[in-house]
């Protein structure tokens, strides 16, 4: 039995697991409908073989979900924009009937990051190992340093750098300058995903 989800072909047995193969490519991940919600994945996305995407998740065009990343849209929605990179072992989740995850265009989620029910605005970067908790908002072009802990309800200003446990303001950057820095990394991940797609053809 198969479930068609453009541009993926998902094959399942007894409702679990759903192994999804990108058409014309070798790439696959576990992509599982839950509670009547099926993940929606845009065009030209890279989904690594060990990525897990569940339930009410929408991913914009040209995004990449890397090895070991888990996007659990089981209790509330996860919305991801275009050209977003969710790197290895990152976890996106929410709180039931309370919070949602929103990642706007050109966001970079570093390795081992946890984003739990938070909003990350366009062009922002969440550094390796950082945690961003419920109802926090990371402003446009902002940078959250590696291993930082952004507490619930924190409002991080656009173009600013936050670091530490708990995360605190470090300094302000020009918004356009910080967005350009982050967009360079975002473009790098567009290149990296193309390598995997070419190898899979």
Q: Could you read off the pLDDT of 128-138 as tens digits, one per residue?
A: 999 999 999 99
Residues 6-21 have pLDDT tens digits of 444 444 444 444 445 4
- Looking only at the bridges linking them, the beta strands covering 168-172 and 137-138 are unpaired
Flag whether pLDDT at 22 surpasses 60.
no
Q: Give the model's confidence band at 201: pLDDT under 50 very low, under 70 low, under 90 confident, else very high.
A: low
Q: Which residues pair with 156 in a beta bridge?
A: 138
- Give backbone dihedrals phi and psi of 191, rounded to 5 degrees, phi first: -65, -45
Mean pLDDT, rounded, for 150-175: 94
Q: Is beta strand 70-80 parallel, antiparallel or unpaired with respect to 8-12?
A: unpaired
Domain at 30, CATH number = 2.160.10.10
The tokens for 51 are 């990525």
Domain holding 13, by residue range, is: 2-200
Lowest model confidence (mean pLDDT) among 16-25, 106-115, 133-142: 16-25
CB 126 within 8 A of CB 106: no
Average confidence (pLDDT) over 43-52: 92
The per-residue pLDDT for 28 is 64
**Rounded to an integer, what distance in angstroms lies between the CA atom of residue 167 and that of residue 150?**
5
Number of domains in the chain: 1
């Amino acid at each position: 039995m198969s479930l068609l989800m453009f541009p993926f072909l998902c094959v399942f047995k007894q409702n679990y697991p759903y192994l999804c193969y990108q058409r014309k490519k070798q790439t696959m991940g576990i992509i599982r409908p839950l509670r009547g919600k099926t993940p929606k994945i845009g065009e030209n996305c890279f989904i690594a073989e060990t990525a897990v995407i569940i339930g009410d998740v929408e991913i914009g065009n040209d995004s990449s979900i890397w090895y070991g990343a888990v996007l659990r849209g089981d209790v509330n929605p996860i919305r991801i924009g275009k050209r977003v990179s969710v790197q290895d072992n990152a976890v996106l989740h929410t709180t039931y009937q309370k919070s949602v995850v929103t990642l706007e265009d050109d966001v970079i989620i570093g390795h081992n990051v946890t984003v739990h029910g938070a909003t990350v605005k366009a062009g922002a970067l969440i550094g390796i190992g950082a945690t961003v908790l419920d109802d926090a908002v990371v402003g446009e072009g902002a940078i959250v340093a590696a291993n930082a802990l952004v507490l619930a309800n924190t409002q991080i200003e656009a173009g600013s750098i936050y670091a530490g446990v708990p995360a605190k303001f470090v300094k302000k950057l020009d918004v356009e300058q910080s967005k350009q820095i982050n967009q360079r990394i975002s473009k790098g991940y567009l290149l990296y995903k193309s390598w995997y797609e070419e190898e899979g053809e």
